[in-house]
């Protein structure tokens, strides 16, 4: 299902009736095979995307003895919406996080039905990228999802508060990242269509809106700079009872093996923004001099690269390390990766490293020619290697296997990770970004960078 910005309705190929899933199984499978199962949760900022895209084929999983399931879930305002009268209508029920309810329903379907396809309901791995990776964190910490999966992979999904991690449903200014509550945002949206008040009569008028009005051209605010009208994931207190970071700090997450990581140059800006190097470094507050030494030691790094590094480290890389540390503290194995590989055909476009989502074709071993260039043999090698690591992890909870470079289990004292390097090799090593991530961790935990 799509929620395209600038459109007057849902895209023609989409529908709110989107709750379908796709199952890939080996053609010669016996129904009593009990193969490991991987469930893919697509990304798209919770406002676009689909599990049915050609980007996510299952054949490279089934030829390694793994069943692949890809799912859909409601997006945008159809996936996340809160309103006072809606909360009061059935106070005993969770409201707001319809997308997460859909994901849980899909995992329940897998538990009930995957054996008929030759899958083992007791060996299910969830994996997702970006919003899909955020979803993995949520499912790891939502009590209702407990027992529905047995391993988890989060690709560029963060792990700390602040990025699509749960807006308070009612309390204003309860979260430094989300000062406006989800119910207030719902009321903002109602006023967008002249609906005043927050009672049952107002709710009836909201339910009378057309799909096009609900989609509202994909806009997330009432005009540029106007009041927000779309909340994203909601901390509703019934389904989502706490953020992932809160759960990880208390050791309340699901007790499963974890594979987690990020790319070397996720985004150039968007979360941490600045118009000059001085302004960017000033965001570190009392740690400005330390940040300067770590990120721009000789003063020649251009602003765009600095923004890419700081955004990548704060939003994805350090939170991934934080999450791996939390799992290790609970006695569960974690495997941490850094994806730095850039295809030769994309190196001019990705100047600073591997961009957000660029690892997906390699995980799925589903490469296509880019910029008119044939798929490079090195690309094929990286894709084959990553797909094997992922499927090995689904089978045993350990990504290692015959013929693959050793991927060290994460130990906070040793900082061992695997890096998929720019030259196409995979090397188990001490995290090359350790000094940067230590700085980010210190800045975040002391309130100097938020």
Catalytic residues: 130, 266, 356
- Residue 428: CB atoms within 10 Å: 16
Task: Yes or no: say if 2 and 53 are a contact pair by the CB < 8 Å rule.
Answer: no
Per DSSP, the three-state class of 23 is strand
Alpha carbons 189 and 181: distance in angstroms, whole number:
13
Q: Is 280 exposed, middle or buried (0-12, 13-18, 19+ CB in 10 A)?
A: buried
Distance CA 156, CA 312 (A): 9
The rounded radius of gyration (Å) of the Cα atoms in the chain is 22
**Cα separation of 435 and 97, whole Å?**
37
- Count each helix (H run) and each strand (E run) in the chain, helices first: 16, 11
Question: Which residue, among 55, 41, 218, has the nearest Cα to 134 in the 3D structure?
Answer: 41
Q: What is the distance between the alpha carbons of residues 383 and 363, in angstroms, rounded to a whole number? A: 6
Of 413, 265, 416, 392, nearest to 335 by C-alpha is 416
DSSP 115: G
Whether residue 344 contacts residue 376, with contact meaning beta carbons closer than 8 Å, is answered with yes
CA-based nearest residue to 339, from 420, 285, 406, 275: 420
């Amino acid at each position: 299902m799509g929620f395209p910005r600038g459109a007057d309705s849902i895209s023609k190929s989409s529908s709110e009736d989107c709750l379908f899933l796709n199952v890939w199984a080996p053609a010669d499978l016996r129904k009593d095979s009990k193969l490991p199962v991987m469930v893919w949760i697509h990304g798209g900022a919770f406002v676009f995307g689909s599990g049915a895209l050609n980007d996510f084929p299952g054949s490279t999983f089934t030829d390694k003895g793994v069943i692949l399931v890809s799912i859909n879930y409601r997006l945008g305002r159809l996936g996340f919406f809160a309103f006072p009268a809606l909360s009061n209508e059935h106070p005993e029920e969770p409201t707001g996080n319809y997308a997460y309810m859909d994901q849980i329903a899909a995992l329940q379907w897998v538990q009930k039905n995957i054996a008929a396809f030759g899958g083992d309901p007791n060996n299910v791995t969830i994996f997702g990228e970006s919003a899909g990776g955020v979803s993995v964190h949520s499912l790891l910490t939502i009590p209702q999802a407990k027992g529905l999966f047995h391993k988890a992979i989060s690709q560029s999904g963060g792990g700390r508060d602040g990025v699509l991690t749960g807006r308070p449903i009612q309390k204003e200014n309860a979260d430094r990242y989300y000062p406006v509550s989800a119910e207030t945002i719902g009321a903002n949206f109602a006023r967008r269509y002249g609906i005043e008040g927050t009672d049952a009569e107002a709710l009836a008028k909201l339910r009378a809106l057309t799909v096009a009005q609900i989609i509202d051209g994909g806009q997330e605010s009432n005009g540029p700079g106007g009041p927000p009208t779309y909340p994203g994931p909601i901390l509703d207190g019934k389904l989502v009872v706490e953020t992932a970071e809160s759960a990880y700090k208390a050791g309340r997450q699901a007790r499963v093996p974890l594979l987690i990581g990020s790319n070397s140059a996720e985004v150039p800006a968007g979360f941490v923004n600045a118009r000059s190097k001085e302004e960017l470094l000033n965001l570190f507050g009392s740690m400005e001099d330390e940040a300067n030494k770590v990120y721009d030691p000789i003063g020649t790094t251009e602003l765009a690269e600095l923004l890419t590094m700081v955004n990548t480290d704060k939003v994805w890389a350090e939170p991934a390390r934080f999450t791996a540390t939390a799992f290790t503290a609970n006695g569960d194995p974690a495997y941490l990766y850094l994806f730095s590989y850039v295809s030769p055909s994309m190196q001019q476009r990705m100047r600073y490293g591997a961009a957000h989502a660029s690892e997906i074709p390699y995980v799925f071993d589903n490469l296509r020619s880019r910029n008119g260039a044939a798929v490079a043999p090195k690309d094929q090698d990286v894709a084959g290697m990553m797909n094997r690591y992922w499927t090995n992890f689904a089978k045993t909870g350990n990504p290692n296997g015959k013929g693959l470079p050793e991927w060290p289990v994460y130990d906070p004292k040793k900082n061992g990770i695997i890096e998929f390097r720019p030259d196409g090799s995979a090397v188990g090593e001490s995290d090359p970004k350790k000094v940067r991530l230590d700085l980010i961790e210190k800045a975040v935990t002391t309130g100097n960078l938020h």
